[in-house]
């Protein structure tokens, strides 16, 4: 597997994700601040891998696999951290991880090049909304770590653990289920291929 600059940016996002996770759940302000910075760096790699691939014509099958995989690493670690911190219900996080695991397995098993696993517009939108939601929550956690005024801290905590946060996450979960169903329907050839092999 040959890596170009775009692929290296994607791989960097995969490497950053577990470190970001450990620091985010560390419970100390310094860890949360560093985790916030790492998330910003990871988000920038998501921009630059696509930019480099398009600008320098480095769009490859490897990149098409690693880029969404790196996104899934980052979002999964973030949602697991949010569940540990009681910001997001575990059942929502589990649904998101199961969906991402399913699509990743499909991509791995179709890696012979004979099957093309399609990524739909709703799926891309889902990932974008997830990233924005994660960024907002992390920014609020960052503010908690750097602000000393208790009254402001209380307001931020109320926002993080509010019904609005729950409803937004619920909407993301519904969209995730929708894209999972759509993913299966649009890639029937994959499942037909598996069925034929088992006959």
Domain boundaries, the chain: 5-198
Q: pLDDT for 63-82, tens place per residue? A: 567 777 888 899 999 999 99
Q: Are 52 and 58 in contact (CB under 8 A)?
A: yes
Q: Does domain 5-198 have CATH number 1.10.3470?
A: no
Q: What percent of the chain has pLDDT over 90?
A: 51
Q: pLDDT for 82-132, tens place per residue? A: 999 999 999 999 999 999 888 877 766 665 444 555 566 777 788 889 989
Q: Which of 33-42, 104-113, 122-131, 156-165 has the lowest mean pLDDT?
A: 104-113
All residues at 6 or more sequence positions from 59 whose CB lies less than 8 Å from its CB, including other chains: 6, 53
Query: Comparing C-alpha atoms, which of 117, 7, 116, 124 is closest to residue 58?
Result: 7
Give the pair of three-digit tokens for residue 196.
């034929």
């Amino acid at each position: 597997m040959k890596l170009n600059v775009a692929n290296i940016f994607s791989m960097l996002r995969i490497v950053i994700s577990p470190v970001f996770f450990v620091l985010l759940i560390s419970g100390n302000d310094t860890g949360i601040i560093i985790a916030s910075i790492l998330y910003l760096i990871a988000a920038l790699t998501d921009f630059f891998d696509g930019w480099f691939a398009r600008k320098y014509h480095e769009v490859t099958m490897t990149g098409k696999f690693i880029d969404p995989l790196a996104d899934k690493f980052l979002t999964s670690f973030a949602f697991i951290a949010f569940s540990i911190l009681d910001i997001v219900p575990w059942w929502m996080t589990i649904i998101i991880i199961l969906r991402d695991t399913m699509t990743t397995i499909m991509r791995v098993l179709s890696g012979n090049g004979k099957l093309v696993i399609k990524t739909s517009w709703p799926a891309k939108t889902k990932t974008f909304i997830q990233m924005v939601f994660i960024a907002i929550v992390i920014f609020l956690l960052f503010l908690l770590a750097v602000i000393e005024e208790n009254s402001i801290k209380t307001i931020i905590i109320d926002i993080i653990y509010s019904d609005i946060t729950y409803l937004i996450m619920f909407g993301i979960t519904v969209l995730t289920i929708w894209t999972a169903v759509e993913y299966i329907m649009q890639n029937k050839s994959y499942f037909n291929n598996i069925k034929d092999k088992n006959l």
